[in-house]
Amino acid sequence: MITLEHCRELDAGDPLGPMRAGFVLSPDVIYLDGNSLGPPLLGVRDRVLSTIEEWGQDLIAGWWNQDWVGLPGNVGRRLESLIGAETGSVVCADSTTVNLFKVVDASCRLTKGDLLTDSGNFPTDLYVLRTLADRWRRPLRVVEPEQLAAAITDGVGVVALGHVDFRTGRSHDLPLITARAHRVGALAVWDLSHSAGVMPIGLADNDVDYAVGCGYKFLNGGPGAPAFVYVSPRLQADTVNPITGWFGHSNPFDFSPEFVPAEGVDRMKVGTPNILSMVALDAALAIWEGVDLEVVRAKSVGLTSLFIDLVDQELGERFEVVTPRHPEHRGSQVSLRRTGAEAVVEGLGRQGVICDYRPPDIARFGFAPLYVSYVDVWESVRRIRQVT
């Protein structure tokens, strides 16, 4: 029997507990939707403000005086340590979709064979994959997540997947699938939108080829924050960005009529970087300095496990737990299935528990280890019981 007292003890022993004070988040709110839009960090407001001031003072010279021109790479450096990537392998740029377009297109250029994904992939990823498969006249195979590993056979050229399923919270075994892809000569492309910031990812250790991810979920960069793109150092020299823009040029300020791609991952940049949004993400990422991602992952598992256990204990048969019960097979969200889930999510919102509905029947609860407590989990399950 899990008690509130037990949850309080867990919070008392939580090394990440003090970090919530760094967020702008009303004490009346239990925010379980950081997998959709993370809340602002306290430092973001001042950073954006000072950037607007710098813009007014430095005007065009801000690009150099304030090193706006270096910002995509500098934000990339911060992200590299979060996702276990090599130095010089990540830039901040564009949206997740545009970045996925770039790396899947680049992957098609480097391979032959089918594109493979699973039906749990985020819709925008499925759209990009379908479009590029047609463009490259390759079959796109969409299998069930459970069949995925077995489907990586000879004849597959590109395996493109979401690391954590946005609907179910199920995670793929990134090291295993990447290794299997390589065994058949395929490239592995990962969308980290739902895993970056809640678990160690180890792109370098796992020899991942390409990755993309979004800045506004567990990275708290703000609504529609710029995204990121990873290119393995192994592949950088051979990677062709299909959208050849001046910021991906080796020397943009030469204004040369001929495109010469920049060295390394910088070639994945395209247009002029969006500075106001990018400084917000940069400021939000500062909170990760010195944070041990193993500790983050341990708390994430603690929160999601506690939630599932409390759903079992308190809610009986009211919901089906869609998310895998084994922690190794999930990210940092738990999805509950129930006809009428939308009304449950709305009712919870009125009670100060903010979660998300995903059609047709999923209530989705995201647990951001930096600002969600164990007592929050207890309290949210208590309120779910009240509204169901």
> 311 vs 362, which CB is nearer to its own copies?
362
345 binds its own copies per the rule CB under 8 A? no
Binding mask 266-285 for its own copies (x = CB under 8 A): ----xxxxxxxxx-x-----
Stretch that binds its own copies, among 28-36, 173-181, 200-208, 321-329 (CB under 8 A): 28-36
The token pair that represents 174 in the structure block:
């990134």
CA distance 165 to 156: 22
Determine which one of 102, 364, 365, 376 is catalytic: 364
> Edge to edge, what strands does the sheet with 333-337 contain?
320-321, 333-337, 362-366, 356-358
Locate 381 and state its tokens. Answer: 């399950």
Task: Give the span between the Cα atoms of 171 and 191, in whole angstroms.
Answer: 11
Site membership for its own copies, residue 112 (CB under 8 A): no
**What are phi and psi for residue 156, nearest 5 degrees?**
-90, 130
The span from the CA of 168 to the CA of 267, in Å, is: 34
Of 104 and 208, which has the nearer Cβ to its own copies?
104
Active-site entry in 20, 170, 217, 267: 217
Our answer to whether residue 376 is catalytic in this structure is: no
299 belongs to the catalytic site:
no
Of 13, 18, 56, 290, which one interacts with its own copies (CB under 8 A)?
A: 56
Residue 126 in contact with residue 117, Cβ under 8 Å? yes
Number of other CB atoms surrounding residue 307 within 10 Å: 26
Binding string to its own copies for residues 3 to 22, with x set by CB under 8 A, is what? --------------------
| Contact range with its own copies by CB under 8 A, out of 7-15, 220-228, 290-298, 308-316 | 220-228
| Residue 39 makes contact with its own copies by CB under 8 A | yes
- Beta strands 90-92; 228-231: pairing state: antiparallel
Assess 336 for contact with its own copies (CB under 8 A): no
Residues 299, 303, 304, 308, CA torsion sign: positive
Residue 282 falls in the annotated catalytic set: no
CB of 15 to its own copies, least distance (A): 25
Is 112 among the residues known to form the active site? no
Q: Is 122 a catalytic residue?
A: yes
Q: Which residues contact 88 (CB under 8 A, 6 or more apart)?
A: 80, 233, 264, 265
Candidates 108, 211, 225, 363: give the one binding its own copies (CB under 8 A).
Answer: 225
Catalytic residue among 216, 230, 247, 307: 216
